[in-house]
Structure 1
């Protein structure tokens, strides 16, 4: 086990490149090739803390709890081409990364609440969330027009700040053909259902395949 408390500047690209190679091997049923490909990132665990942006803007009194339909979240990630609007880096829908963890639970540890010491840092670095452009705490809506794809780490650091209040980052290179590994998702799920450890309920991956617009397998799955 390798404990990680801070991500290196190349972490997003390094993890994305590694997982692309893993997915390519799983698509052709080469599990051992995928196991070899994942070794550069295998066994890492996130133990870091995430600082948040400061803002002096007032929040809206009585703002209701966030309720974001999963279909809207999927719509935003697809619209934004699975790239983070904050840093520009490649990203994944969480279910796609969970599918890889199903196949390699030790190499790519998953914890549904991202528990420190229990989840691989790739979940923080790559998983995309649909974040509010105008913050929810200031009355921003949960409609797709007010949402943008953002890495979990970038989103947590943003907190309740408006995107225009954040410091400018040196953006990573964009990848016009990046599909968030959606084309490999059904194959990865299939391998996980046959050989892997089940992290998700039986309908979890079929549901997300439908939402993300990819053909579903018939995987077997516990709650994600």
Structure 2
């Protein structure tokens, strides 16, 4: 049903249902009206509900003190598409073990109201803007003492030209980094809200994360 059968990930799905019931006291899908119609209609309704993922009513039954990491682990195990679930029992066990380590799990999946989660959208900007600002100040001082003070060109003219160039190049560089990191800025928050993404999109996000340092360095050197 909706891709839950066929390999180890079917077992992951079944285990996810059991763990969800243990956590919330109810199934992750509403099947209360399933038995009031024919068998074929009942199966079709159940399949449709599972394709849609865990319903909002089930999400509201999650205990308030449930770690965000555990919620992510269970929702991944209950993903409608088989390829979106944990690849096997070892991967699931590692994720559940992570949930037992409060410090580690809060680093990976900060609680909803934590300062880490609130600051996360700004970390990329801070990581790029901070070093660039310090480098820019050092560069200005270095250039002024070795080049600008020795130019025959009036200094105010030089600073106007330099300011105009920087006013264009740095916003372009920042916009380029934001564009290259667009999936990193949008997909992880979506996952935390329970949104589902195509496996190809998730693969691109992982690639973007691995290439982010190289891209940042390339843009910075170009500036």
> TM-score, normalization: structure 2?
0.21
Higher strand share: 1
> TM-score, normalization: structure 1?
0.21
Higher helix share: 2
Larger relative contact order, structure 1 or 2 (CA cutoff 8 Å, min sep 6)? 1
